[in-house]
Amino acid sequence: MNAPLLDLVAQYRGIKDEILPALTAVIEAQQFIMGPAVAQLEAGVARLSRARHGIGCASGTDALLLPLKALDLRPGDEVITPAFSFFATAGTVHNAGGTPVFVDIEPDTFNVDPAAVEAAVTPRTRALLPVHLFGQMANLERLRQIAARHHLPVIEDACQAIGARRQVEGTWRVAGELGWVSAFSFFPSKNLGGWGDGGMMVTSDDAVAARLRKLRLHGGAKQYHHDEIGTNSRLDTLQAAVLLAKLPHLAAWSAQRREHAAYYTEALAGLEQVRTPVVDPCNEHIFHQYTLCVERRDALQAHLKAKGIGTAVYYPVPLHRQPCFASLGYQEGSLPTSERTAREVLSLPIYSELTRAQLEAVAGAIREFYR
Ligand SMILES: Cc1ncc(COP(=O)(O)O)c(C=O)c1O
């Protein structure tokens, strides 16, 4: 029984009849740039994240880069971010003119350790950039307290966490609701994925929303008049139409992923070589990834591959040990939880359309490996 890591064709088959007419409508109107679907999607994602503004852009990377640019960073300005994330989280800090300051993660949730964040604050710190990794929100209440104490904005990297929720002081808060600006990615593999690149920023700060709208259009609120230098980072109307058709399915797809996750966690219980994902009791996880920490990771991955089961290592090298950041001087051993996690993680297939037989095959093959 094969189980690919991801099967977008299975999703496509189920919703083809909803998406193709939406695309045809864009093609018939020939409104490829900032057509009506963009504003509709912006309103939909803003509503979902309980933010006043949604601002589409070309990718999740740009959804981080533009708010970082809005900080007007100067050389030496620091942004504190976890060492264990996708590269864009740190690359954008550099590309916005700042220096990423890497801190360690919590060993169980894979999310940034708030105590490590607080310890890393210096007079040069300009923002906190936590990541809701794999679809589970970081401890935003503690991060917001730290941010408030030091008068710092919080930019949420919510690229993997659209629709995730966290109970903060007894109230459910959603990814994107509490940050100064939050970034979503619509990369095709995401829980809400386009048919190409796409991203969105959400914020409830009217002033920064206006600035971000300008920055994505070469820095001009009025065409051919430029107050500052921005870039071309619009969300394609065709992508917006695809995403708009998919948006009503998002909650059910994420619920399905949670059910799959519950199955795996039960089926793998008791294996001492395997640690299944730990969900903070305050969180509702959307399981963008279902990520184990395992012994003999590479051998397990090869065993699963031989059985037709797709897996991935997100991420094999923590950001502070990437060659491009060598000049920042982080040594091996400096952020031990991130380093150990990078050696142990393995993500399993978790897409909504997985069948029970596929789930059983994956769990069975893992049990067989450790027998
Ligand atoms: C945590 C995180 N940050 C940023 C990004 C960047 O998003 P994109 O690939 O849409 O540029 C991604 C997605 O790949 C991500 O997973």
pLDDT confidence band for 133 (50 / 70 / 90): very high
Name the residue of 62, 65, 81, 86 to mutate for ligand 1: max ligand atoms within 8 A of Cβ: 86
- The protein residue whose alpha carbon is closest to atom 10 in ligand 1 is 60
Rounded to the nearest integer, the mean pLDDT of the chain is 98
Is the pLDDT at 300 greater than 90? The verdict is: yes
- Among candidates 244, 249, 188, 222, which has minimal Cα distance to 56? 244
pLDDT confidence band for 118 (50 / 70 / 90): very high
Top pLDDT among 173 and 227 is at 173
Q: How many residues does the chain have?
A: 371
Diameter of the chain measured on Cα atoms: 68
Q: What separation in Å is there between the alpha carbon of 271 and the centre of ligand 1?
A: 32
Answer yes or no: is the C-beta of 191 below 6 A from any ligand 1 atom.
Answer: no
Answer yes or no: is the C-beta of 241 below 6 A from any ligand 1 atom.
Answer: no
Q: Which atom of ligand 1 is nearest to the CA of 186?
A: 10
- Among candidates 67, 141, 91, 149, which has minimal Cα distance to 111? 141
CA 214 vs. chain centroid, Å, equals 24
pLDDT, tens digit, 9 for 90 and up, residues 38-62: 999 999 999 999 999 999 999 999 9
Q: What was the pLDDT predicted at 125?
A: 98
Query: How far, in Å, CA of 214 to CA of 195, rounded?
Result: 25
Helix (H), strand (E), coil (C) string for 33-89: ECCHHHHHHHHHHHHHCCCCEEEEECCHHHHHHHHHHCCCCCCCCEEEEECCCCCHH
Q: What was the pLDDT predicted at 90?
A: 98
Please report, for residues 87, 276, 279, 366, the alpha-carbon distance to residue 272 in angstroms, rounded to integers and kept in the order given.
31, 10, 18, 12
Q: Rounded to the nearest 5°, which phi and psi values hold at 321?
A: -105, 10
Q: What separation in Å is there between the alpha carbon of 130 and the centre of ligand 1?
A: 13
Q: What separation in Å is there between the alpha carbon of 144 and the centre of ligand 1?
A: 22
Q: Which atom of ligand 1 is nearest to the CA of 199?
A: 10
Angle 350-175-136 from CA coordinates, rounded to 5°: 40
Is the pLDDT at 330 greater than 90? The verdict is: yes
Q: What was the pLDDT predicted at 61?
A: 98
Q: What separation in Å is there between the alpha carbon of 6 and the centre of ligand 1?
A: 17
- The protein residue whose alpha carbon is closest to atom 4 in ligand 1 is 88
Answer yes or no: is the C-beta of 86 below 6 A from any ligand 1 atom.
Answer: yes
Q: What was the pLDDT predicted at 63?
A: 99
Answer yes or no: is the C-beta of 59 below 6 A from any ligand 1 atom.
Answer: yes
Query: How far, in Å, CA of 112 to CA of 80, rounded?
Result: 10
For a pLDDT cut of 70, what percent of the chain falls above it? 100
Residues sharing a CB contact under 8 Å with residue 371, sequence separation 6 or more, in sequence order: none
- The protein residue whose alpha carbon is closest to atom 12 in ligand 1 is 159
- pTM of the entire predicted model: 0.98
pLDDT confidence band for 221 (50 / 70 / 90): confident
Query: How far, in Å, CA of 162 to CA of 183, rounded?
Result: 9
For a pLDDT cut of 90, what percent of the chain falls above it? 98
- Among candidates 32, 92, 95, 84, which has minimal Cα distance to 340? 84
* Spatial contact of 162 and 151, defined as CB atoms under 8 Å apart: no
Average pLDDT for residues 8-13, to the nearest whole number? Answer: 97
Q: What separation in Å is there between the alpha carbon of 322 and the centre of ligand 1?
A: 17
Q: What separation in Å is there between the alpha carbon of 66 and the centre of ligand 1?
A: 14
pLDDT confidence band for 169 (50 / 70 / 90): confident
Average pLDDT for residues 349-353, to the nearest whole number? Answer: 98
pLDDT confidence band for 176 (50 / 70 / 90): very high
* Both tokens assigned to 18: 């909803």
